[in-house]
Structure 1
């Protein structure tokens, strides 16, 4: 007797595989400089982001989110999952702002997820990385310079006052679409 394969097994755990997907990484600075109002605003912004994206029926089917935090260490808080399954988190600040390693982890995550989409034939949009930080990296100059080629292949865009406290949001959108 043969065992039946579920849709989840067939599509590598990707929900709604007939819909184009968009991988989105929330890359969040939780260093000591984020203490007080900034971390409170960040926690509120994450909840609001989920709420607003989930209000759109198409986005709810298509957006998959991973959460990565960084301070002295980088942590993948949650791997890619549908936006409506994104965990509610409360972030606590501490440590230094080691940005270079965090950016590389986020880039590696979206590349891996894009390969997974392609591997099972799921159409996808350009992945996005939203980095929310106070903008002051403690990574070495050399570590930041090693990332320079990644930024010439992608288009970072800065938006200030995202948390109404002058912190920066960098959105990195991969130039190539998944199907290219």
Structure 2
């Protein structure tokens, strides 16, 4: 039996058939993120949600999932209308179950796309952001292979982001055959999420299937190129 939230979600989608931009944030909240890193990450995520909600087009088209990973993999925010999303407060503890987090993100995206198709709602190519400051402590190879296959087929755009000097870019690269990992400058999470929200806004104003050029100049504000 469908839950009340699911029914309300479907009703909202029927009433607002705007093409959707699904964005999945897969975020490392392991113990090494304790202190300033997790504080800045929380500020960045909050800014991201606020920027999208303040955008006249993106507020109706962007749908955001937030999945955190440490000892556990947690769906902090599921896809749905932005105005009904509670901004999560992420806490740092434990290890780095990145493989499990990406697997959950892929499963969540597939379910959302199936709902779009069922209700006749068009959607843009999904985006996945993977942010980590270390190396996975779980089995990640299968999740990486599935992610790469979707990228190769043009069904997923992945942004792999390394936090700090200890992040394993070689592992991140396995999730992204089309785009090399970028390393975050210092703790410029807010600059990254400002760039991301601007990019999502740009996509939401295009036609589904149309190629959208990313703001490469804007990368300089937050990434070590």
Q: Is the 8 A contact 2:17 2:121 kept in 1?
A: yes
Partner of 1:38: 37
* Distance in 2 (alpha carbons) for counterparts of 1:11 and 1:95: 33
Partner of 1:12: 10
* Distance in 1 (alpha carbons) for counterparts of 2:8 and 2:184: 43
Root-mean-square deviation over aligned CA pairs: 2.6
Secondary structure, counterpart of 1:56 in structure 2: coil
* Distance in 2 (alpha carbons) for counterparts of 1:25 and 1:100: 14
Matched, 1:164 2:187: yes
* Distance in 1 (alpha carbons) for counterparts of 2:17 and 2:97: 38
* Distance in 2 (alpha carbons) for counterparts of 1:70 and 1:14: 30
Deviation at 1:116, TM superposition (A): 0.4
Secondary structure, counterpart of 1:45 in structure 2: helix
Q: Is the 8 A contact 2:26 2:101 kept in 1?
A: yes
Secondary structure, counterpart of 2:79 in structure 1: strand
User: Larger deviation: 77-86 or 38-47?
Assistant: 77-86
Partner of 1:5: none
User: Larger deviation: 156-165 or 145-154?
Assistant: 156-165
More helix by share: 2
Residue 70 and residue 51 in structure 1: after superposition, are their counterparts in 2 closer, same or farther (change >3 A)? same
Deviation at 1:31, TM superposition (A): 0.6
Partner of 2:122: 123
* Distance in 2 (alpha carbons) for counterparts of 1:52 and 1:163: 22
* Distance in 1 (alpha carbons) for counterparts of 2:73 and 2:9: 29
Q: Is the 8 A contact 1:21 1:124 kept in 2?
A: yes
- Within 5 A, what are the aligned runs for 1:1-180? 9=7, 12-15=10-13, 16-139=15-138, 143-150=139-146, 151-154=148-151, 155=157, 156=176, 157=179, 158-161=181-184, 164=187
Secondary structure, counterpart of 1:77 in structure 2: strand
Alpha-carbon deviations, 1:123-151, whole Å to 9, x = none? 11111122222142112xxx222124221
Q: Which runs of 4+ in 1 moved over 4 A?
A: 8-11
* Distance in 1 (alpha carbons) for counterparts of 2:8 and 2:84: 20
Structure 1: state its 5+ residue gaps.
1-7, 172-176
* Distance in 2 (alpha carbons) for counterparts of 1:57 and 1:165: 26
More strand by share: 1
